[in-house]
Structure 1
């Protein structure tokens, strides 16, 4: 008997096979990548990228050393170069210079890792078109990225980058650049060389000025400069003929900047220090459909604002406006007018809670001008004999099926909306008892929904599929709760819940950190949780008037982000009515003084 104990079956090829360490990537996945040219390794808790991934298109597959013959599907020598490599949501701290071996890559996704730097060899990937580096720990912008001449999409948001190299201007084919949530204090003038750029996001940085060269970006459609320290905008910006969306929210602007007028459709200048609007400049905004001026210091509106015939949404929340021009009621396309938090005179408070339609009707009633009848060539009659404005659908992206007293929305209405890429849906003043399920079909486009003045008893989770939603109006229904799935609405900024049956502040609203306006007046709310409310760092308007609040927790005074807090009509004894009448700042200061020390 042999003195060597035999365990299991011996491998006769063991002495001839190359020794490899066992990786964390299944061979089947690698083989599939050789055929498809795509490899998805996202969310695998990788701390480093195995060598066999870098050498995927170089080394012979292990199976080739074991098989004598191959079928048509096993011809590894006919493999496709890897073009798409997804490595997001891992624990990678660095990449090897061997990344250059994957010379055919067109997409490299590294977002949500722990990268502090990138290898210089990255600059050799000359076929790369998409590079995603967001949510890492990069402290400097990788210069090697600037040599990727084929790059079209570059996302570097949520890092620690404090400056950009001048070489960034060499990315002549770049169409999308996201630098948001970094530590940038200035931008290089070479940005103006990125003439193909269509989207630029530089929000959430520390910028105090913008380079004049930005005006050279003739193809720019979306520019986001929100949450910086800008006190002025260069006049060259008015030379950007393609610009459609401009975000300047949360800066230090005192005047509305000179703006490109020919294509601009959406202008966001909320949360600045603007005190006055120039009428001539407003009148030049001939294509504007959304104008956000909330949380500024405006005292009045120029009459020229009534020349904005394409305006569908005007947000004047939290300013110092005392009167509204009566001619505002003649704006033909205006469907949403927000004026909460202004010291308006001559307009009854109950009228302000009834919505835009009633307010505009009231304003029209103050002038002697006949209302123009709808219809003619801009209207389309659907099989249900319901008239929908073709002009609104195609040009304004607005579906208006309001005030029909209908208990359901006809299918052909949604068919027309889907074909038109509608962004705003107004189906208020009907007899709906549930949210139309087909509303979810518009999830790719719709950002505003008005379901007010219906008979909704519950809010279907279907509305939570509208992931682009920024404003939702559910006033005057019979709601008592909101679905927990609503936390998916990460872009939601305004929700109107007046005149419902809520007994508690809806729990899910504490989870939606993007909220800026919550109107919950005329319900039965008995308490709020200030420890959770304070996490809503963007919340500036909170209406809790005419509820059942027996006491106001002093800790609510720590919510210093609030610019408009309405507590009138509740049965609490403190703070006294005299303090409440002094306004939000006085109430918050009083509440802070009551916090036990």
Structure 2
């Protein structure tokens, strides 16, 4: 039982100097009663638990300023919470709240209220009397409208989140919120905007992505303070030239529409820094874009750009441009040589643009940090690429490289290389010159041997080597002491390569073998990977897990699907940090009794196993709580049955049979003598005492395993009458469920 002193000892002074207690991530189903006795508490954090309700005792905490209880199972905000006069902050997102109490209006000091991702269908009219409220988050609910007076009283409201609700029209009461700065209405079904929107003179950020808009009212262009306008995922084919009236506009998002061009007037949006036009129907970039001198990021990927005029030379005048995204314009073929003067460019994405050679302009971009050339037809890089001395990341995935471009080995700032899905068979020895290389993806190539040259790139942190043909790992792999993430899916290893266990700083290991040769065993040496957090062993043929796996005490995610496991080791439930466990597609009949010890488990899958304890319908629910409770209660019943069996056997064994039974149970002479000399016990009690002693010695066995072992020992002594009675007891107990 938690006492007040224990809880108080965990308090601390959080932001604002508030006396705070953090009970997050503790698997709590109920808030400790002792908490209500800390009457000077000012901030409570209860995130990521399994709490269903907040008790009325919370009214005792009259000094409370803030409470966070997101990611629980709370169904309502209690009226007692609305009796806390000092409350300024409530965070109750990601729960199951269906209704907001009108008594929340009593919280006159409330400044921030977050109830995102619940099931709220309406906002009570009295809610508008929260005069000091500045931030209101109601994203991800089921709202269709708002109180009419929301703009009349809530003058302090600055930020309003209504994304992902069920609005099929723009909620006009919002237009009365004259001091609102940020409004989010993304992912609704809004087809038009009201003229009254011009009243929102203070609005700086307006998010309307993923609605049904095709036009904008002229009144929108009178919002002179608007800085960010997000209209992605609508039905626009064009934008009015009056967009140029938004002189403070810094970011314009028009991705995923049906735009075929931009108005010439776009060039007058002199403050524009980010322009998103991905996923439209553009065949060329308007010349006017080249006049946007403040533009730093331009996204025109996934359009229909093609031909020599698709990218106008005026783009080279964008002296502030740092990000240029041209991905997935399959007919582009090249980029203008004039772009070579854009020395300020830091990131250029030209994947899937039908390139057969690296454009000459790219080799002149001496300041570039990131180049994406994926999904083209490149088979080599020119020597001039060595001029890209600031390059940190290059993506060459899905091209036609037969050899690793040696020129890259001279780019000493390079940190990340993706050259997966090519035709490589070896690496050049010069790769060791890449002294800052942290990540390399060599998946889906033609490697038959693990390249020893890679073992001398000691800065490697992440190595992906999936879908090759390697059969072993070299001894030198132990040089990679910094590696944290290793993937070896679908290769040709005859057995699990024990040299993986040299990499003692590994956090993530992926050894699934859906197409490669299957591992049958997992070595005990896996215990060397004590910092492992993610282990993927699916699609192998592993029959048993080593007891030493429990030494990987930091494991959070463990995937063992599609193996040949029939049981789990006794130490398995020592992996108390597990959050996700996939055991699907094995041969497991019984789940561990101590499954409930895994109280952080959020994802649990045993589909495709012949599980009979617990029953199939319960095992398939994927919730460890009910499964664990059933397994524990079943174990208790089976343990009770075992003791009844031992009691029956002790009454019906004669002395000769008892001596032979002790031998078969492997009870030692030194253990038997003290009990036999105890004259205060009857002969039957002596036998029963020794049977119970045997059970304690074999405590690691489940009750069913102990029953089987006990019956087997009696069978070896040839006691058919007793055995038949014990088996009958088992059948009877199963029928009655004791």
TM norm structure 2? 0.44
Distance 2:406 2:147 in 1: 56
Q: 2:322 aligns with which of 283, 289, 296?
A: 289
Residue 38 (structure 1) aligned with residue 96 (structure 2) = no
The alpha carbon displacement at 1:160 in A equals: 1.0
Q: Which residue of 2 aligns with 1:319?
A: 353
Residue in structure 1 matched with residue 242 of structure 2 by the alignment: 213
Q: Quote how far apart the aligned CAs of 1:102 are.
A: 2.0
Aligned to 1:333: 367
Q: Distance in 1 between matches of 2:250 and 2:515?
A: 39
SS at match of 1:238: helix
Is 1:86 equivalent to 2:114 in the alignment? yes
Distance 1:188 1:322, change over 3 A: same
Instruction: Choose which of 77, 80, 85 in structure 2 pairs with 1:25.
Output: 77
Give me the whole-angstrom Cα distance separating, in 2, the residues matched to 1:160 and 1:298: 35
1:229 aligns with 2:258: yes
Partner secondary structure for residue 136 of structure 2: strand
- 2-structure distance, mates of 1:201, 1:163: 15
Report deviation, 1:116.
1.2
CA distance in 1 between partners of 2:410 and 2:243 (Å): 39
Q: Establish whether residue 306 from structure 1 lines up as the match of residue 337 from structure 2.
A: no
Q: 2:162 aligns to what?
A: 133
Task: String of CA shifts for 1:333-374, please: whole Å, max 9, x gaps.
Answer: 12333333334587696658747963998xxxxxxxxxxxx9
Answering whether residue 276 of structure 2 is matched by residue 247 of structure 1, we say yes
Instruction: Map residues 407-486 of structure 1 onto 2, 5 A cutoff.
Output: 430-434=457-461, 455=480, 459-460=484-485, 479-480=487-488
Give the Cα separation in 1 of the matches to 2:259 and 2:103. Answer: 48
- 1:221 Cα deviation after fit: 2.1
C-alpha separation between the residues in 2 aligned to 1:387 and 1:342?
Answer: 21
Distance 1:345 1:148, change over 3 A: same
Give 1:93 shift.
1.3
Query: After the TM superposition, which residues 161-180 of structure 1 pair with which residues of structure 2 at under 5 Å, given as runs?
Result: 161-180=190-209
Question: Matches of 1:237 and 1:181 in 2, distance apart?
Answer: 23
Report the CA distance between 1:290 and its aligned residue: 1.4
Question: SS of the counterpart of 2:183?
Answer: strand
State whether structure 2 residue 225 is matched by structure 1 residue 196: yes
Distance 1:456 1:315 in 2: 33
Correspondent of 1:105 among 133, 137, 141: 133
- Counterpart Cα distance in 1 of 2:113 and 2:244: 35
**1:261 partnered with 2:311:** no
Is the 1:252–1:273 Cα contact (8 Å) retained in structure 2?
yes
Greater C-alpha Rg:
2
Residue 455 and residue 205 in structure 1: after superposition, are their counterparts in 2 closer, same or farther (change >3 A)?
A: farther
The C-alpha deviation readout for 1:110-151, integer Å capped at 9, x for no partner, is 111101111211121222111110111000001111111100
**C-alpha distance after superposition, 1:355-405 (max 9, x if no partner):** 7963998xxxxxxxxxxxx9xxxxxxxxxxx999xxxxxxxxxxxxx9552
* Inter-CA distance 148–350: structure 2 relative to 1 (3 Å threshold): same
Question: 2:149 maps to what in 1?
Answer: 121
| Structure whose residues are more often helix by fraction | 2
Alignment partner for residue 51 of structure 1, among 102, 121, 128? 102
Task: Tell me by how many angstroms 1:99 deviates.
Answer: 2.3
Q: Is the 8 A contact 2:337 2:360 kept in 1?
A: no
Q: How far, CA to CA, are the matches of 1:188 and 1:455 in structure 2?
A: 60
Give the secondary-structure state (helix, strand or coil) at the position aligned to 1:36.
Answer: coil
Question: What are the Cα deviations for residues 234-263 of structure 1, in whole angstroms up to 9, with x where unaligned?
Answer: 122222222222111000011112214322
Deviations 1:264-292 (Å, cap 9, x if unpaired)? 11111000011133443121111111111
Tell me the distance in 1 between the aligned counterparts of 2:410 and 2:256: 33
Alpha-carbon spacing, 1:225–1:356, altered in 2? closer, same or farther (3 Å): farther
Q: 1:147 and 2:172 equivalent?
A: no
User: Closer, same or farther in 2 for the Cα pair 1:24/1:407, shift >3 Å?
Assistant: closer
Residue number in structure 2 paired with 1:416? none
Q: Can you list the C-alpha shifts for 1:5-32, whole angstroms capped at 9, x where unaligned? A: xxxxxxxxxxxxxxxxxx9434553344
After TM superposition, the score normalised by the length of structure 1 is 0.53
Q: Does 1:280 align with 2:313?
A: yes
- 220 and 323 in structure 1: CA distance in 2 versus 1, 3 angstrom threshold: same
Name which of structure 1's ranges 135-144 and 327-336 shifts more when overlaid on structure 2: 327-336
Contact 1:458 1:480 in 2 (8 A): no
Equivalent-residue separation in structure 1 for 2:456 and 2:229 (angstroms): 40
Structure number with higher relative contact order (C-alpha < 8 Å, ≥ 6 residues apart)? 1
**1:405 and 1:429 in contact (8 A); partners too:** no
CA distance in 1, matches of 2:511, 2:91: 48
For residues 228 and 436 of structure 2, what CA distance do their matches in structure 1 show? 41
Instruction: Indicate the residue corresponding to 1:550 in structure 2.
Output: none
In structure 1, which of residues 348, 358, 362 is the aligned counterpart of residue 408 of structure 2? 358
- CA shift, 1:455, in A, is 4.9
* Residues 261 and 287, structure 1, Cα contact 8 Å, conserved in 2: no
1:184: how far off?
Answer: 1.1
Asked if structure 2 preserves the Cα contact closer than 8 Å seen for 1:458 and 1:481, the reply is no
Q: Cα distance, 1:504 vs. partner?
A: 5.3
Q: 1:99, 1:356 → 2: CA distance?
A: 66
Q: Give the structure 2 partner of residue 417 of structure 1.
A: none
User: Whole-Å Cα distance in 2 between the matches of residues 234 and 35 of structure 1?
Assistant: 52
Instruction: Specify every segment of 5 or more residues in structure 1 that has no aligned partner in the other structure, as ranges.
Output: 1-22, 58-79, 362-373, 375-385, 389-401, 410-427, 437-453, 461-477, 483-499, 507-525, 528-597
* Superposition RMSD in Å: 3.9
Count of aligned pairs: 358
Instruction: Tell me how far apart the structure 2 counterparts of residues 135 and 405 of structure 1 sit (CA, whole Å).
Output: 47
Matched with 2:391 is: none
Residues 355 and 96 from structure 1, CA distance in 2 versus in 1: closer, same or farther, beyond 3 angstroms? farther
Secondary structure of the corresponding residue to residue 108 of structure 1: strand
| C-alpha displacement of 1:230 | 0.7
Closer/same/farther in 2, CA of residues 314 and 132 from structure 1, 3 Å limit: same
Whether the aligned pair in 1 keeps the contact of 2:296 and 2:321 (CA below 8 Å) is yes
Q: Aligned equivalents of 1:121 and 1:356: distance in 2?
A: 68
